[in-house]
Structure 1
Amino acid sequence: MSKSKIRSDKTCLNCRFVVENKFCPNCGQENSDTRKTFQHLFIHFFEDLTHYENAFWRTIKNLLSKPAALTKEYLSGKRLSYLAPVRLYIFISFITFLLLALFPSDTNLFKNTSKKETTITTKNKSLQSNTQKKEQDAKDLNEQDNILNFGYTSVAQLDSIQKNAPASDKLSDLNYWVNRKIQIVVENNTQSEIIEKFINSFYNNLPKVLFIFMPLFAFFLWLFHSKKRWYYFDHGIFTLHYFSFLLLLFLLLFLINKGIDALIESALLSFVQIILNFVGIGWMLYYFYPAHHRFYGETRFISFIKSSLLFMINIIIIALLLSLYVIYTFINLH
């Protein structure tokens, strides 16, 4: 725990109460010097997030291995032993998306399909002729045209049709706007650039999507359970812990894959990577069922039916949100 110099003045700066010891007996504020170094602020920030001592690691251990245990402990009143749900989610979310930004995934899907192919391409790059390069460029352009071709070759052609063509051949205002947006993106980007920009935008905006989705997730939990026994607040705490688990496990798998990819490639490491990903993704998908059963205390059969329905409903909602997000992201590409 960071140490702060105690003020000689015994009057609390917050409530003006007389402070005999380190903390004010009236409001609880520490009677320390208000001027801090950057180092102190950084340490204090980290300590505040991790709730000092062993609370952070105890929270992480229970979150990963004991579905719904944190939620039950929190709602039973045992709150100082663990990180608060909101603080936990913010901390994991911050670390996850910071590392995703610092170590972005390789999104160049059309140049490198594997490490082996990349190595071979690099070794033989000096032997490629100009003709081969031109053929490859033409192939890449043709692939882009096949996937993103909506019947127009340029924005100018589309504008000309909309302006000069007979009324029967013109597009509706909405179709014209959508097609023009698509054509602008196609003209200014290659297919690999479009995918790279889309994935980067997806990672940057995923926290917003999750933030929008969490209240909906809690709302459906509220609909499926007794209104007399459970408040929306209870479902909200369950949701925060569940989403914190998903983000944390995703982060761990991301770090494991990055670490293995940085090592020398071998069959054993590849096998270990596959097993770890299989186990991690499997636990991520299964986790909701025992968490639901243990928290809501219903019979296994009823809990299975409810959790399955909730799982399917939320998958549909996620699909709809992602579809809207895909459209939004594509429209805003430059």
Structure 2
Amino acid sequence: MKPNQVNCQNCEQPFDASFQFCPHCGQKANDKLTIGVLFYNTISNYFSFDARFFKSFFPLMFKPGYLPGQFIKGKRLLYLHPAQMYLFISVVFFFIFSFSVRQQTDSLNRELKKTLVSDVDVASLDSVEVKERERALKLEDSLTRIEIRKALEDNQWLTNMSDKDSIAILEKIPKNTDVSFGLNERKIDSLIALKASDEEIYKSMGMDDNDGWFTRKMYAQALKFYKARDGGTILQAFYDTVPIALFFLLPLFALIIKLLHLKKGTYTHHLVFSFYFFSYLFTVFSVIFGLNLIWDIPNWLDFLIALSTFIYLMMALKRFYDQGWLLSWFKSSVATFTFMAIVIPTAVFIMGLFAFLFY
């Protein structure tokens, strides 16, 4: 090795000691490991959170269709990569969304524990406790009806219902009605109290010996839910599948866009467009859920924000595919309807079934 040379700690190649970076691999010379360096490297390497993010974020929000167009033209170092932007914004969204999920799961569990009280549970209470429970249920029922009536009044502009119509709806709602599973709950409760085996309880629920794995699994999960009254766990399992589902939903959205623009670009081009569009959606949803955590946004404002995503899609299609307003409106309408009316409901059904089977 020549004088005044050092070896790179990364690639072990020699270079001049006066160099600040290794000319072979690019690592910084004498890069001491500190807390700041550790976290900076983690963030920059995983998210590439640098100046390119800010150069990309404002065009993403205010110039629909501009970023995918620039990326397709070859300007791929000036702006953040579409997949990296999608990854970073989706992580931020799910972090904010997790607070809302926790509130929903806790609320669902509380409501189930209030309403799903079996005959065995009631029989084990003394007369004072039974009266207290009935008083609590009446109070809860009254509060619930007040909330329902307020919601109906707040949305009269949308439902076009009068006060009499709202009162008529409230009168049709049963009071203090326990949730029914469509089963002989008294018999199941008795078997549980007698510590009968799960197989005996399955048969009392209607399972046959010849039923296959799927049917037996459904009975097993139904009994598990009946015993635990833990609907929040199922809801949490459902939400846990959302990030995985998006890995399939985003390519499906790109396929819909591709079918609407068969003669314009390859599937990869439409995938780039979808990455940026979903990044915009997650940004908007992050703002909505973030604001709802500290302030209950009016329903009409939620509706306007949701409508803005459709307008954004129409403008993005017009710019990216260089087409007229009418054609952009038509294709954005078809894409939105197909995705919301067919793809999303199918995905929700599969995710719900998966959450119930494996929670």
Tell me which interval the TM-score lies in, with the shorter structure as reference length: 0.7 to 0.9
Partner SS state of residue 9, structure 1: strand
1:239 — aligned with what?
Answer: 274
Counterpart residue type for residue 235 of structure 2: I
CA shift for structure 1 position 287: 2.2
Gaps of 5+ in 2: 112-127, 142-174, 189-197
Where do residues 184-195 of structure 1 align in structure 2 (5 Å cutoff)? 184-190=223-229, 193-194=230-231
For residues 77-100 of structure 1, give each alpha carbon's deviation from its aligned partner in whole angstroms, at most 9, with x where no partner exists. 223332211111111111221233
2:194 — aligned with what?
Answer: none
CA contact under 8 A between 2:19 and 2:29: conserved in structure 1? no
Of residues 264, 279, 288, the one that matches 2:304 is 279
For residues 156-208 of structure 1, give each alpha carbon's deviation from its aligned partner in whole angstroms, at most 9, with x where no partner exists. 34325768xxxxx8875367426513531332232xx31x2233223322111
1:325 — aligned with what?
Answer: 351
Counterpart residue type for residue 99 of structure 1: I
CA contact under 8 A between 1:68 and 1:291: conserved in structure 2? yes
User: Which shifted more, 39-48 or 313-322?
Assistant: 39-48
1:251 and 1:17 map into 2 onto residues whose CA distance is 48
Note if 1:180 corresponds to 2:178. no
2:149 — aligned with what?
Answer: none
For residues 42-86 of structure 1, give each alpha carbon's deviation from its aligned partner in whole angstroms, at most 9, with x where no partner exists. 123334535423x32332222222211111122222233322111
CA shift for structure 1 position 10: 5.9
Of residues 243, 246, 257, the one that matches 1:207 is 243
Gaps of 5+ in 1: 1-6, 113-128, 164-168, 261-269
Q: CA 1:56 to 1:132, structure 2 compared with 1: closer, same or farther past 3 Å? A: farther
Counterpart residue type for residue 181 of structure 1: A
Partner SS state of residue 105, structure 1: helix
Note if 1:149 corresponds to 2:182. yes
Rg (Cα) greater in structure: 2
2:287 and 2:129 map into 1 onto residues whose CA distance is 45
Note if 1:159 corresponds to 2:159. no
1:247 and 1:203 map into 2 onto residues whose CA distance is 15
Of residues 251, 256, 266, the one that matches 1:220 is 256
Of residues 22, 38, 42, the one that matches 2:39 is 42
Cα RMSD of the aligned pairs, angstroms, is 3.4
Of residues 67, 72, 77, the one that matches 2:69 is 72
Counterpart residue type for residue 131 of structure 1: V
2:76 and 2:357 map into 1 onto residues whose CA distance is 45
CA contact under 8 A between 2:5 and 2:15: conserved in structure 1? no
1:285 and 1:188 map into 2 onto residues whose CA distance is 44
CA contact under 8 A between 2:5 and 2:14: conserved in structure 1? no
CA contact under 8 A between 1:292 and 1:307: conserved in structure 2? yes
CA shift for structure 1 position 256: 1.1
For residues 136-166 of structure 1, give each alpha carbon's deviation from its aligned partner in whole angstroms, at most 9, with x where no partner exists. 579999532x2x3256753534325768xxx
Counterpart residue type for residue 89 of structure 2: I
For residues 89-148 of structure 1, give each alpha carbon's deviation from its aligned partner in whole angstroms, at most 9, with x where no partner exists. 111111221233355334415857xxxxxxxxxxxxxxxx6334433579999532x2x3
Q: CA 1:74 to 1:151, structure 2 compared with 1: closer, same or farther past 3 Å? A: farther
1:254 — aligned with what?
Answer: 289
1:301 — aligned with what?
Answer: 326
Where do residues 25-36 of structure 1 align in structure 2 (5 Å cutoff)? 25=23, 27=25, 29-33=26-30, 36=33
Counterpart residue type for residue 178 of structure 2: E
1:231 and 1:150 map into 2 onto residues whose CA distance is 54
CA shift for structure 1 position 277: 2.6
2:205 and 2:57 map into 1 onto residues whose CA distance is 60
Counterpart residue type for residue 277 of structure 1: D
1:52 — aligned with what?
Answer: 50
2:283 and 2:337 map into 1 onto residues whose CA distance is 22
2:308 and 2:321 map into 1 onto residues whose CA distance is 20
User: Which shifted more, 201-210 or 133-142?
Assistant: 133-142
Scaled by the length of structure 2, the TM-score of the pair is 0.68
CA shift for structure 1 position 17: 6.8
2:235 and 2:310 map into 1 onto residues whose CA distance is 23
2:335 — aligned with what?
Answer: 310
CA contact under 8 A between 1:222 and 1:235: conserved in structure 2? yes
Counterpart residue type for residue 180 of structure 1: Y
CA shift for structure 1 position 280: 2.0
Partner SS state of residue 143, structure 1: coil
Of residues 312, 317, 320, the one that matches 1:292 is 317
2:129 — aligned with what?
Answer: 130
Scaled by the length of structure 1, the TM-score of the pair is 0.72
Counterpart residue type for residue 149 of structure 1: G
Q: CA 1:189 to 1:13, structure 2 compared with 1: closer, same or farther past 3 Å? A: closer
